[in-house]
Amino acid sequence: MAPEPLNLGLLLLIPYRSMEARVFAALAAAGFDDITPAQARVFQRIAPTGSRLTDLAEQAQITKQSAGFLVDQLARAGYVERVPDPTDARARLVRIAPRGARAVPVAAAIVSEVEAEWTAHLGADRADRLREILTDLREITDPYA
C-alpha cells in the first residue's frame, strides 16, 4: 500500500524549515548566533519605520506578553530598540537597531541563494508559477497581506 500523500501544509512547511535552518546557520557563522526562531518571527515583522508591540504580537499570532518578552530579549542582544512613537506620545515603537540592521543582509543573501537553488531545480517557469500560486493562496491565509 502506498503511503498517504503529505498534506499541503506540510509540503509548505518542509521547504520553509529548510530555508530557515540555512538562514540561522549563516547568521551564526556571521556572529549573530544569539537569535532564536521565535525572536526572528517577531523581528521579521518590524516595519521600516518601527512597529507597535501590539501589532507585532498580532502579526506573529502570539500574545502581547510573549511579544514583549521576545522584544526584550532582542533589545538586550542589540537587535532592536524601543523608541517614542512620533504619532502618539504615550506609545512606543519597536525599531531595528544597528546590530539588527547588520543581520538583515546576511539573512537576505541566504534567502536569495536558496531561491536561486530552488529555481534551478524547478526551472524558471515552474518557480514563477509556484510563486504566483502561493501569492494567490496568501489572499486567504494571511490577514496582513
Per-residue pLDDT tens digits for 42-61: 999 999 999 999 999 999 99
**Mean pLDDT (the chain, rounded):** 95
How far apart, in whole angstroms, are the C-alpha atoms of residue 19 and residue 50?
26
User: Looking at domain 9-141, which of 1.10.10.10, 3.20.20.70, 1.20.120.1200, 3.40.50.300 is its CATH number?
Assistant: 1.10.10.10
Residue 4: φ, ψ to 5°? -60, 140
pTM for this structure?
Answer: 0.88
pLDDT (average), residues 85-91? 88
Chain centroid offset of residue 38 CA:
9
